[in-house]
Amino acid sequence: MFKQMGNMAGMMKQVQEMQSKMAEMQEKLDHIEVEGQSGAGLVKITATAKGDIKSCFIDPSLLADNDASIIEDLVVAAANDARDKASAKSQEEMAAITQGLPLPPGFNLG
């Protein structure tokens, strides 16, 4: 019985440590930036690893054509690329935190 209580205390300590690391990771993700691109770099979206859009660049050559639909499509594509990169970076950071923890297969903390 005492051994089980010791195991539970150890597990609770691991959970508290993981919660602390999760809070640190969330803070870190606010400062990691990724860049999504489309149109061979004619449109670029910068976002945090949390997915918050920080900036958008549209190459002036796109504006000369006066075709808003092309620009709109490129902005959407660049934003989706940034979102995908942000998600991948977030998962990478999560994997680094949970490495070595005895989590069941498929357990997702994010």
Digit-coded pLDDT (tens) for 91-102: 998 888 777 666
Average pLDDT of 39-49?
A: 96
**Cβ pair 35, 48 in contact under 8 A:** no
Give every strand in the sheet of 33-38, ordered side by side.
Answer: 33-38, 43-48, 53-58
Digit-coded pLDDT (tens) for 54-98: 999 999 999 998 889 999 999 999 999 999 999 999 999 888 877
Determine the residue type at 77: A
Cα–Cα dist 20/32, whole Å: 19
With 0.85 as the threshold, say if the pTM is over it.
no
Coarse DSSP helix, strand, coil percentages of the chain, rounded to the nearest 5 percent:
55, 15, 25
pLDDT class of 108 with cuts at 50, 70, 90: low
Cα–Cα dist 64/14, whole Å: 58
Which CATH number applies to 2-98?
3.30.1310.10
- Domain range summary for the chain, segments of one domain joined by +: 2-98
